[in-house]
Structure 1
């Protein structure tokens, strides 16, 4: 009897990762395939992608999966998605894209945000009436220039001819679900991320009052569903395009902020996980609607109905490591490429340049000789909202070498995670043992650093770079009845290894962390002057 499989699509910022899972007592990753695509960044703060690139990447990676795994499409029981969130995809009545998708990174709608929420009597710099109504109805507020409501308003103001053709406002995965099923839906977590969703107990629908308050057309917003709901079957056209069988069950899935926690096994109340991919965050499962306006941390709707994730976001996390590899380390690494065959050929020592980079700094001193890096290369959201904030190397001396600078970057990324973690803990008790996931978590060196810097025990699951896809697969397993209780998801996701903090190292990091927290306050005006 042939095994049952789940196919998931993880739609990231820089590429699609498609994963095939076998369902048994544990979710077993059978095959994965990736395809990269581009993101366009503009001088005015714009960040856009072509949604057709996502759809084409699904086709290409699905073909790779089927070819390499040699399984029959008949054995695939369900399809689901995990995706980047807070994008804006505007389509017409035929689900045709009207303009490039505006990424969560897009920050050009400054004037629209000022007009929409800054004018008038203010609390924490936000219009008091809109702030209080938003907190009462949805439990959060659109206080960032990157929030999708301001992207929507930007198109309305700057591209009226496009806006006139809009039928549906989708997030990233919702566009792909529509392509698969010809259904216009949005999962609760994506709906919440618009800040137009009524998340009060017994509600769970679009707020007509907030739509009126912010000038959003209610008829642009699709039907709201649960993450584990079956949207419909794969259409004949979509099945032929993807190389799959018609009528495979397509499930709602969720955004990365929802499903990465599920894939980490952090599914019970009080479970905390830390994610480090392109961006990063700290999230704790809770049944309470809680918000810390000053720290920009709030309970967001997750994949499990009736539960929230108390969530603080780090704008750039692994993206800083990519920057340091490309612009600081690469010229040094190039010296070794011919001699050591680092990543290519039969004599390769390392799987990637990142692995080599981390290995090259593992013997540098904890604390980087007092050099501190701020990881705000594309602005910041939490615990302060400032798109003009940037990176700093602080306290460099004549003796500072490149390896020290690289280590300082790694420590700076983790200092920012500790900052969010401590602010989260002041409102919502975080777990002593934390699941650490994302591509960065593949490094045992960074796992130990995270334990030392935060003072928490750190656990890593199998395939930490695939937890979004794993979460999407777990949702399907729950949706089709393979598991009966949501908590059973944790037993399907095994722990690979564990790290405990080094007390001596933590003392050094405690000293540096105090300085780290002061660097934004000391330079806020300088950022504003330099980055207009």
Structure 2
């Protein structure tokens, strides 16, 4: 295959199919990484989307102060290098058989680098909310509507289709905080990168961001193509566009793998590095919901409801709207993002239930999450009216409130471990339903949802989600790998192994359907009304309890 690296596009000669059905030593593969909040999950994928091997390596998330969340960029790089090498070893393939490498990644992870591309500090992770005060002070000043400066809001909406929220977790707020509190480092900053961008730089020497990821920095002009950084919006962050990476499409080849990166990863020098996408857009590809108006649900560390749409709309009070997709020539990505989903179950396991070794020994199972499934199944639907609200780190959609926190409501002496576990499962499903209904009001109701993410591996959670939302739940095969598989298939299109992006969904399988149970309809409708009332009746209390200095 001849590949010419030329700006955003790629010229290809369709010689790439050689060996796909012949000599196994000539068969080609994609290495795709899903760089999440807590780990890099790497997969080796053939050109039909079949996962041959997968490897995972964890890295830490630091919380040096309340509302601070940071990571070491070098930890991400080491994980990518080690998992890539391990994939080749486990898959028993040579570096020559890797046709390309690509990425799905956590988003809004801000990494300031100097002129040599060296990080100047730990990254501001997407969970970092330290800039909530300064974004109110500098950006969302009076006159306000729903907490937003009306004229600046209109400017953001006109240019980007969205706007930074109140929570302090968007890139503009982080840059403002960095400029004020670490001025010496700010003065040395040559470029601001996201997590994926930093890894792409280490692989190719190019500082590039995908357009879908750039769109949620809220400084990208998405009104016409090619998308460009908007000078007026960058000024609101106190920077100029030259401090931001070059914007290219998700399917673009960023460049060939450098000699140094080849040594570090075990791949061949010159291997094409395909841009990839943020986790939201990548997962939308891998969910198989590629038709206009089809939605999918993801429950991982965070969660969301999303779908490809042709018209850009927004519901700012509920922080739902459109971002860039991995297919910018065809679709926007309608998005209702939620801060904490599966991590609530992780918190319960680590901090409330007794030690996992004792739980595993007691239940005689291999995995801790099997026990949580069994406990949830042991409780009746509704957990005897115990309600969990999963807002453990503030929330974006459906309430856009950085003061709100999680709670277990209506706890009584009649409740046991199984009720608490089921309430957590159901509370996350209730929050998902609220997000789903927010998007449906913007577009149109759906009858089914494709389900991806680690939460989809749980049969009981799939059924709870079907019952709570009253929608058919289609569980995607290998649901945890949806993002990595999505960008791998997009890379296969770029490299000429798949005819078109429309063919991507042909390579994504549904492994089981879960149908809503009519006998639970009235119960869950009642609990959903009360779930929303928890927020509405306690909104002021949350603000008093979690007040910031600028409130």
The answer to whether TM tops 0.5 is yes
1:440-488 superposed Cα distances (whole Å, 9 cap, x missing partner): 1001111111111001111011100111110110110111122222121
Matched, 1:36 2:51: no
Matched, 1:411 2:426: yes
Determine helix, strand or coil for the equivalent of 2:188.
coil
Provide structure 2 residue ranges, at least 5 long, that are not aligned to the other structure: 1-22
Aligned to 1:483: 498
Aligned to 2:266: 243
Aligned residues: 521
Matched, 1:496 2:511: yes
Matched, 1:80 2:118: no
Matched, 1:134 2:156: yes
Give the whole-Å Cα distance in 2 for the aligned partners of 1:166 and 1:183: 16
Moved more, 424-433 or 156-165: 424-433
Give the whole-Å Cα distance in 2 for the aligned partners of 1:63 and 1:502: 46
Determine helix, strand or coil for the equivalent of 1:55.
helix
Determine helix, strand or coil for the equivalent of 1:77.
strand
Give the whole-Å Cα distance in 2 for the aligned partners of 1:409 and 1:340: 20
Q: CA RMSD in A?
A: 1.3
Give the whole-Å Cα distance in 2 for the aligned partners of 1:233 and 1:168: 21
Within the candidate set 314, 320, 336, 2:338 is matched to 314
Determine helix, strand or coil for the equivalent of 2:336.
strand
Give the whole-Å Cα distance in 2 for the aligned partners of 1:497 and 1:178: 40
Aligned to 1:454: 469
Q: What's the offset of the Cα at 1:115?
A: 2.3
1:43-91 superposed Cα distances (whole Å, 9 cap, x missing partner): 3311100000000011211221111111011000010000000110111
Matched, 1:227 2:250: yes
Within the candidate set 169, 177, 200, 2:192 is matched to 169
Within the candidate set 152, 172, 184, 1:149 is matched to 172
Give the whole-Å Cα distance in 2 for the aligned partners of 1:121 and 1:400: 48
Deviation >3 Å, runs of 4+: 333-341
Native 8 Å contact 2:375 2:417 kept in 1: no
- 1:168–1:508 CA distance, 2 compared to 1 (3 A): same
Give the whole-Å Cα distance in 2 for the aligned partners of 1:527 and 1:294: 18
Matched, 1:5 2:5: no
Aligned to 2:534: 519
Q: What's the offset of the Cα at 1:339?
A: 5.1
Determine helix, strand or coil for the equivalent of 2:398.
coil
Moved more, 192-201 or 352-361: 352-361
Aligned to 1:531: 546
Native 8 Å contact 1:62 1:242 kept in 2: yes
Q: What's the offset of the Cα at 1:378?
A: 1.2
Q: What's the offset of the Cα at 1:519?
A: 0.6
Native 8 Å contact 1:284 1:430 kept in 2: no
Give the whole-Å Cα distance in 1 for the aligned partners of 2:225 and 2:35: 31
Moved more, 521-530 or 46-55: 521-530
1:135-155 superposed Cα distances (whole Å, 9 cap, x missing partner): 000100112310011111111
Query: What TM-score comes out, normalization by structure 2 length?
Result: 0.92
Provide structure 1 residue ranges, at least 5 long, that are not aligned to the other structure: 344-351
Give the whole-Å Cα distance in 1 for the aligned partners of 2:358 and 2:439: 43
Correspondence 1:278-289 to 2 at 5 A: 278-289=301-312
Native 8 Å contact 1:310 1:428 kept in 2: no
Native 8 Å contact 2:286 2:486 kept in 1: yes
Query: What TM-score comes out, normalization by structure 1 length?
Result: 0.96
Aligned to 1:19: 43
Determine helix, strand or coil for the equivalent of 1:78.
strand
Within the candidate set 368, 371, 378, 2:386 is matched to 371
1:395-415 superposed Cα distances (whole Å, 9 cap, x missing partner): 122211121111111100000
